[in-house]
Amino acid sequence: MNTIKKDVVIIGGGPAGLAAAVQLKNKGISNIVILEREKQLGGILRQCIHDGFGLTRFKEALSGPEYAQRFIDKVEILNIEYITNATVIDITSEKLVTAISGCGLLKYEAKSIILAMGCRERTRGAISIPGTRPSGIYNAGVAQAYINLHNTMVGKEVIILGSGDIGMIMARRMTLEGAKVKAVFEVQPYPSGLPRNIQQCLNDYDIPLYLSHTITNIKGNSRLEGITVSKVDENMKPIPGTEKDYTCDTLILSVGLIPENELSLAANVELDNRTKGAIVDENYQTSVDGIFAAGNVLHVHDLVDFVSLEAENLSNSVANYISLGKLPKCNIDVLTDANIGHTIPQKISGEKDVKLSMRVKKPFKDCEIDIMQNNKVIKISKFKKAIPAKMLEVKIDKIQIKSLDNIKVVIK
Amino acid sequence: MIKKYTCIICPNGCEIKATIEGTDTITSIEGATCKKGEEYVKQELINPQRNIASSVLVKDGILPLASVRLTKSIPKKYIFNVMNEIKKVRLEAPVKINQVAIKNVLNLSSDVIVTKNVGRKN
């Protein structure tokens, strides 16, 4: 069987893969291919039909499919090769890519691989809700696919667990389609989605949001019949005596997203236990030379605009990698204090300006994020508010980086 | 009277505190990080506006549905009336982004437009 030689193989034709491909082509790297497992390009945006995408990039409130199409159009105009219905089943650290597709088994030998596989949803099994196992329990994204792609309504009387953005958006969507969404329950003492979605998806439709609550029982044999909800204490443990029963035929879980990195592991890419995505340097290069990652496969984003931007920055590095054969070493580790969930990148060189993306672990008001090196503050950034739902960015100029010692990010 | 708002214009979601006199006069406003915050509060007081997204059935398409949205926000109170109009629409493939599914829906000066290309089934 023939092995096809490529400069770059891009795994995933969602927002990250599309933006990466367009930017590579614009940088003169033409021998590239996008491998997409679905029938069409666009990734998760195909089912995100609500508006609000592209406010930063296009200064317009587009729907997900429209946002994706802007990039798909560029891919077509630039004649970038893409193969749909092609599932990558293996990648190696030698940059060999194996995919199964409508035209059979495909094998590529690439100079560089871009990981752009996105993320998947945390499931009922991962959060261990007790009770029976009836039908009628869906992940929010699965319900979204049923309703927005397959024209299948998932239920009539709905409870939502988790205040993630997709869950709230589905609360509104199902309400518009005639379902009764009774309540959203969130185990944390603060919402995990964006404030605007609490307003426009829940408050607008009088859907109550209960914080510090979780589901402690699921009832029903063939179809879901109801759930029991309990208040939780500060350690998120259910408080006995606070149980309340709700009837419902549908339970939607919006309890978090996990970067999809099975393939990355196959190539020995080192993952960050906090993000569940790859550990990358300022070039978005992973621990494996020539393998790069951006978008939700790297860390879960709240805005697609940032995914596109990240993928474009990645492609700038990949273009350099292709022409130089390697990139400068990044030996400065970026460490965080307990209230910062993680940063991307996790490693920098100190040789150029760098933007750190991060998330806080709990809400802060009128806070400052300090970048420290050798116990000295080298950069202060002030924020009116910082919430776990929203990614923050802090820029460090090269000139502020004084040595090759590790950097620490602290919030106060 | 002091009222609290979460601005929905952009993902920042500013938490705005506004002092309202009478029914719609804002005497003071804080918390908005841009000018759009005040416009939003004003609109919320007089006539809250929202955009909605849904889908319409497509005949002979490679997908059963084409997603749609409004070109311009409509008064919140007409959301379900507009949904009823959207439910009546049947398009025939192929459909293209920006194709008008309903012109000037319920005379609200907003069009329902298609937001996804759906090719024709062979």
Q: Burial, A147: exposed, middle or buried (Cβ in 10 Å; 0-12, 13-18, 19+)?
A: buried
Q: What is d(CA B107, CA B105) in angstroms, rounded to the nearest whole number?
A: 5
Q: With cut-offs at 50, 70 and 90, classify the pLDDT of residue A125.
A: confident
In eight-state DSSP terms, residue A80 is -
Which tokens hold the place of A80? 């970038």
Q: Cβ separation of B69 and A204 shorter than 8 Å?
A: no
Residue A384: its pLDDT value, please? 87
Q: What is d(CA A154, CA A251) in angstroms, rounded to the nearest whole number?
A: 10
Span A93-106, mean pLDDT?
Answer: 96
More confident residue, B53 or A2: B53
Buried b (16+ CB within 10 A) or exposed e, B92-109: ebbbebeeebbeebeebe
Buried b (16+ CB within 10 A) or exposed e, A259-296: bbbebbeebebebbebbbbbbbbbbbbbbbebbbbbbb
Q: What is the CA radius of gyration of chain A?
A: 22
Question: A112 with A7: CB under 8 angstroms?
Answer: yes
Residues of A whose CB is below 8 A from B69: 49, 51, 63
Residue with token string 């749609």: B68
Q: Cβ separation of B67 and A65 shorter than 8 Å?
A: yes
pLDDT at A1 exceeding the cut of 80? no
Average pLDDT, chain B: 93
**Per-residue pLDDT tens digits for A164-186:** 999 999 999 999 999 999 999 99
Q: With cut-offs at 50, 70 and 90, classify the pLDDT of residue A112.
A: very high
Q: What is d(CA A376, CA A169) in angstroms, rounded to the nearest whole number?
A: 43
B106 touches A at CB < 8 Å: no
Residue with token string 């940063």: A343
Which among B11, B52, B53 has CB closest to A303?
B11
Which among A66, A147, A199 has CB closest to B6?
A199
- Cβ partners under 8 Å of residue B121, min gap 6: B60, B61, B62, B93
The rounded Cα A181 to chain-centroid distance in angstroms is 26
How many Cα neighbours within 13 Å face the side chain of A341?
21
Which tokens hold the place of A82? 């893409």
Nearest chain A residue to B87 by CA distance is: A177
Q: Cβ separation of A196 and B6 shorter than 8 Å?
A: yes
Nearest Cα neighbor of B99 from B87, B115, B120 is B115
Residue with token string 């979204």: A144
List the single range of A313-322, A379-388, B87-96, B105-114 with lowest mean pLDDT. Answer: A379-388
Helix, strand, or coil (residue B91): strand
In sequence order, the β-bridge partners of residue A408 are A335, A372
Average pLDDT, chain A: 95
**Per-residue pLDDT tens digits for A16-57:** 999 999 999 999 999 999 999 999 999 999 999 999 999 989
Nearest Cα neighbor of B50 from A232, A282, A50 is A50
* Phi-psi map region of A399: left, alpha, beta (phi>0 left; psi -120 to 50 alpha): alpha
**Per-residue pLDDT tens digits for A47-87:** 999 999 999 899 999 999 999 999 999 999 999 999 999 99
Which tokens hold the place of B67? 């997603």
Q: Cβ separation of A151 and B76 shorter than 8 Å?
A: no
What are the φ/ψ torsions at residue A177 (nearest 5 degrees)?
-90, 10
What is the number of residues in chain B?
122
Q: What is the DSSP string of A21-73?
A: HHHHHHTT--SEEEE-SSSSSSGGGGG--SEEETTTTTSS-EEHHHHHHHHHH
**Per-residue pLDDT tens digits for A318-344:** 999 999 999 999 999 999 999 999 999
Helix (H) or strand (E) run with residue A304 in it: helix A304-324
Q: Is the dihedral of CA B42, B45, B46, B49 positive or negative?
A: positive
pTM here? 0.94
3-state helix, strand, coil in chain A (%, to 5): 25, 35, 40
**Per-residue pLDDT tens digits for A227-268:** 999 999 999 999 999 999 999 999 999 999 999 999 999 999
Residues of A whose CB is below 8 A from B64: 150-151
CA distance A291 to chain B (A): 32
Q: Cβ separation of A149 and B76 shorter than 8 Å?
A: no
Q: What is d(CA A117, CA A92) in angstroms, rounded to the nearest whole number?
A: 16
Q: What is d(CA A280, CA A318) in angstroms, rounded to the nearest whole number?
A: 13
- Cβ partners under 8 Å of residue A130, min gap 6: A216, A217, A218
Amino acid at A44: I
pLDDT at A210 exceeding the cut of 90? yes
Nearest Cα neighbor of A94 from A330, A268, A297 is A268
Q: Cβ separation of A62 and B115 shorter than 8 Å?
A: yes
Sheet (strand B15-21) strand order: B2-6, B15-21, B25-30
Q: What is d(CA B1, CA B30) in angstroms, rounded to the nearest whole number?
A: 14
In sequence order, the β-bridge partners of residue B2 are B19
B119 touches A at CB < 8 Å: no
Residue A282: its pLDDT value, please? 96
What are the φ/ψ torsions at residue B18 (nearest 5 degrees)?
-125, 140
Span B14-31, mean pLDDT?
Answer: 86
Helix (H) or strand (E) run with residue A326 in it: none
